[in-house]
Chains A and B, each alone.
Chain A
Amino acid sequence: MGYELRTMVVEPKRQTFDPLVARFGDRPATRYQEGSFDVQATEHFHYRPTWDPAHELYDVDYSALKLTDNYRYADPRQYYYATYVTDAAARYEAFAQTLAYVEDRRLLDRLPEGWRRVLTGAVIPLRHYEQGAQLISSQAARFSYGTTISQAATYAAFDRIGNAQLYSLVGLALAGGGSDALSEAKENWLSAPSLQPLRRIVEELLVEKDWASGLVALDLVDARLYPLLFTELDERALADGAMAYSLIARHLSDWYGSQQKWLAPLLEAWTTDPTYAEANQKVLADIEDRWQGRATDAVRAVAKLIDGAVR
């Protein structure tokens, strides 16, 4: 039995949409490019926001940090929705398998002395830190200018709630499925001295109106917190035989690596911009002056608790 094959190939009249031709030349664009470049509206907004009449709906002046062309920035991971959720699903599946193994072998019960304190005193309370981080990232997702930056911030915001949920799952596992460890961690977040500088810095960043300042300052904290807890401490955990800690830590340090992948080029875009490089550098220096010392102090307080627990 035969079947009919279509033999005539229709040549395309166009390779892609005009803005992409203008930016990248007359050839097929990638899915990331088509879904990200020049998607956000830039002109003829009909009404001023009633919640901020001094600005337009999309406005470069929501931040002191500026780019001549906001599309100078692109996410090197090239995350658009489909690739993002696919990668994220894989990460969460890997974490679920780790946690299942940890629970199955009762590795949390078998943590050496002090490591439980590290979890309840430093790690599980980060579920609240990450909630704050989501709010800061969502501010950037809405108020940044241009789809490439906004999109990366959107996925970062979702990651942060994801992280919060991972820490919560660890807390549930630690308490044999009940909520006790989570209650303890929340208590610590609200009142333990070792966590107050961290909570305070997060709360102050929540009222930082410049979305980019919020994001950059948050990264100053992450940059101290994540390597401490999930790289340095991972080494110590292995030495101590705290297997559960090491297995879990890997996932969080992987996430932090992904976070750096999209943030670092954004910082570079600001500091090397053809028009605004100098002005941006000044703004970034101000952010650093304002927040760096406090970020260090906040993480130092957490480090002190850890040293006390597992020296």
Chain B
Amino acid sequence: MTKLSMKERYHLLTRDLDWTPTYVAPEEVYPHSRYEGIKIHDWGAWEDPFRLTVDAYCKYQAEKDKKLYAVIDSFAQGQGHLGLSDASYVNAVKLFIQGVSPLEYQAHRHFGYLARHLDGAGARFASLCQSLDEIRHAQTQIHTISNYNKHYAGMHDWQKMHQRVWYLSVPKSYFDDALSAGPFEFMTAISFSFEYLLTNLLFVPFMSGASFNGDLATMTFGFSAQSDESRHMTLGLEVIKFMLEQDEGNVPIVQDWIDKWFWRGYRLTTLVAAMMDYFLPKKVMSWKEAFELYFEEQMLGGLFPDLAYYGINPPRHVAQAQAEKEYVSHQVYWILYQYTHAAAFNTTIPSDEAMAWLTESYPTTFDRYYKPLWDKAKAIEAGGGRFYNMALPQLCQVCQIPMGFTEPGDPGQICFRQSEYEGELYNFCSDGCQWIFDREPEKYVQAWLPVHQIYQGNCGGATIPDVLAWYGIAEGDNLDYAVSTDKTSWDEWHAKGGN
């Protein structure tokens, strides 16, 4: 009996299923595959490193899920949340379910789109598998975090919050941007930029943060999802190389997309930077360290020399991201701190121990520029107050983060850029976001900016309580950790009957 190689067998079970239609025009079957200007001459050159057929996929994934759910169940049963480093850790989980889990679902839906609309059978099948993986991630996260929702605030209406709350329009608009793009740009944005280039910056902080702070369930989810992520990373790298190898004309298009999606994604990760430097009671590493390891070393040092072969350069505006590693987490957390009255998580003044760690981790910036802000906040607190900014912030038209970033090289100056389009003025936090806008203004003018919407009366009313109600933010969800229901509960649980 002839034994086919794994490669041949896989080909027969996937690509060989395909045929060229003759009763309808092939271009009508794949109407979206040419309008971006990407030229593909031979889909036969597509590589499939993982070669998983449907039966093997189901077998391995079922095994992984059996183990994962056993851990989730056992953590819940054993009231594992009581063993967290501190209840304040749960604010990282809140940010995750509000901000990240809905993105998994978006990815699930749109890889389903690619499973229909890419006109290469190998790439379609890989996309179909990824679509399944992403709903796995969305649901295992929901199921894991369901247990936290039972005991902690801020997670009870994550679906509504993701769609309405101001800081969550940052991740939501990022994925809406990708979904509204064509199939090849989507793959560059998500498979390459999100799932390869920036993936460790997004997930290591959360998953390692979980591990360091006693969140066994989330940590186990992280490890379990990571093996799926290997397939996703492979797809990301494959699609970039495939486009670059298929036609020289693709190179400048792909370069532009790499430039755009690096910056758009990097701005999104600054929320994670704030989380890892300030939300975690037990720190994993600083944002600066994470950026140096996972981006500068692995990507600029490892990946981009590989891509240089094709004429691809490191992303435009990368130098600013590198410079910002010294301070961006402080800027973003300061924004979140002052607007916590309108957020579905708690923030607080860092403890003395945390401050010392920040000083040590950021020797050139923290003591000089950001500790004075905390000293001020402490003084207000000592006087019985708590600094909440009652004015609504100006948001960047592109990344939608409040414009609290500073001019590169000038820490005393807020960075403020402006473009005019069809008689209207649009504001940006950086050269990177302005560059993104100027390429596609007709897209970015459509954005549903949370602050504009409040002023237009579309967010429940004219007062902050009105808006919070419309956001789905309930009593206990917002305000400082020091006065939170989470802290009250935590102290209660750990006071009774000894530990």
**In the complex, A touching B, CB below 8 Å?**
yes
**CB pair A44 B163 closer than 8 Å:** yes
B180 to A49, Cβ gap below 8 A? Answer: yes
How many contacts between A and B, using CB within 8 angstroms?
248
Query: A242 CA to B31 CA in the complex, in Å?
Result: 45
Whether B181 pairs with A50 at a CB distance below 8 angstroms is yes
B456 within 8 A of A: no
Q: How far is the CB of A180 from chain B (nearest CB, A)?
A: 10
Interface size in chain B (residues, C-beta < 8 A)? 92
Chain A residue with the shortest CB-CB distance to B17: A131
Could you tell me if A199 and B447 are in contact, using CB atoms closer than 8 angstroms? Answer: no
The answer to whether B110 and A142 touch across the interface, beta carbons within 8 angstroms, is: yes
Q: Complex Cα distance A172/B10, Å? A: 12
Mark contacts of A6-17 with chain B using CB atoms, 8 A cut-off: 1 yes-contact digit, 0 otherwise: 111110111111
Residues of B within 8 A of A157 (CB): 112, 115, 128
Q: State whether A46 touches B447 (Cβ < 8 A).
A: yes
Q: Chain A residues near B146: list those with CB within 8 A.
A: 16-17, 29, 34
How near does chain A come to B228, taking the closest CB pair, in angstroms?
A: 11
A158 interface residue per 8 A CB criterion = yes
Contact with A along B368-382 (1 / 0, CB 8 A): 000000000000000
Are B79 and A86 in touch, CB under 8 angstroms?
A: no
Contact A41 B21 (CB under 8 A): no
Contact B176 A34 (CB under 8 A): no
Interface residues of A in 18-44 (CB under 8 A from B): 18-19, 29, 31, 34-35, 38-44
Residues of B within 8 A of A178 (CB): 2, 4
Partner of B24, one of A8, A38, A130, A207: A207
Q: Which of A66-74, A77-85, A266-274 contacts the other chain?
A: A77-85
In the assembled complex, B223 has its CB within 8 A of some CB on chain A: no
- Partner-contacting stretch, out of A160-168, A252-260, A303-311: A160-168
CA distance A134 to B158 in the complex (A): 32
Shortest C-beta distance, B263 to chain A (Å), equals: 17
Is the pair A204, B1 in contact by a Cβ cutoff of 8 Å? Answer: no
- CB-CB contacts below 8 Å: B20-36 with A: 21-24, 28-29, 31-32, 35
Stretch at the interface among B39-47, B60-68, B349-357: B60-68
Given contacts A17-B158, A85-B62, contact A165 B105 (CB under 8 A): no
- Determine whether the beta carbon of A203 is less than 8 Å from that of B23: yes
Q: List chain B residues, Cβ under 8 A from A116.
A: none
Instruction: Assess whether A161 is in contact with B142, with CB atoms less than 8 Å apart.
Output: no
Of A88-96, A229-237, A280-288, the one contacting chain B is A88-96
Complex CA gap A33/B55 in Å reads 26
Q: Please state if B12 and A135 are interface contacts (CB–CB under 8 Å).
A: no
**A residues less than 8 Å from B444 (CB atoms):** 47
Q: Which of A7, A13, A29, A178 has the most CB of B within 10 A?
A: A13
Nearest A residue to B449 by beta-carbon distance?
A46
Q: Check if A19 sits within 8 Å of B58, measured CB to CB.
A: no
B135 to chain A: closest residue by CB: A81
A50-64 CB mask vs B (1 if < 8 Å, else 0) is: 110000011000000
Of A138, A139, A162, which is in contact with the most chain B CB atoms at under 10 Å from its CB? A138
Is B164 an interface residue when CB atoms closer than 8 A count as contact? Answer: yes
Q: Pick from B19, B112, B138, B159: contact of A190, CB below 8 A.
A: B19
Residue contact B128 to A85, C-beta cutoff 8 Å: no
Does A204 contact B23, Cβ atoms closer than 8 Å?
Answer: yes
Is there an interface contact between A177 and B143, defined as CB atoms closer than 8 Å?
A: no
Contact A40 B150 (CB under 8 A): no
Contact call B32/A158, Cβ cutoff below 8 A: no
By a CB distance below 8 angstroms, the chain A residues around B164 are 43-44
Question: Which of chain A's residues have a CB closer than 8 A to the CB of B448?
Answer: 44-46
Judge if B7 is at the interface, Cβ distance under 8 Å.
Answer: no
Nearest CB in chain A: distance from B68 CB, A: 8
Q: CA of A80 to CA of B35 in the docked complex: distance in angstroms?
A: 35
Among B117-173, those with CB < 8 Å from A are: 117, 121, 125, 128, 131-132, 135-136, 138-140, 142-143, 146, 149-151, 155-160, 162-164, 169, 172-173
Inter-subunit contact A46/B182 (CB<8 Å): no
CB B182 to nearest CB in A, in angstroms, measures 6
Rounded to whole Å, the gap between the CB of A34 and the closest CB of chain B is 5
**A47 pairs with B62, CB closer than 8 A:** no
Known contacts A47-B443, A130-B17, A134-B128; 9 further A-B pairs (Cβ under 8 A): A6-B79, A10-B151, A35-B142, A39-B159, A88-B62, A138-B115, A177-B4, A178-B4, A186-B16
Report 10 cross-chain contacts, Cβ distance below 8 Å, ordered by A residue.
A10-B151, A17-B159, A34-B143, A46-B177, A48-B180, A57-B179, A81-B135, A138-B128, A142-B113, A158-B128
Residues of A at the B interface (CB closer than 8 Å) are 6-10, 12-19, 29, 31, 34-35, 38-51, 57-58, 80-82, 85-86, 88-89, 92-93, 95-96, 127-128, 130-131, 134-135, 138-139, 141-142, 147, 150-151, 154, 157-158, 161-162, 164-165, 168-169, 172, 176-179, 182, 186, 189-190, 199-200, 203-204, 206-207
4 closest A-B pairs (Cβ-Cβ)?
A92-B55, A12-B150, A35-B139, A138-B116
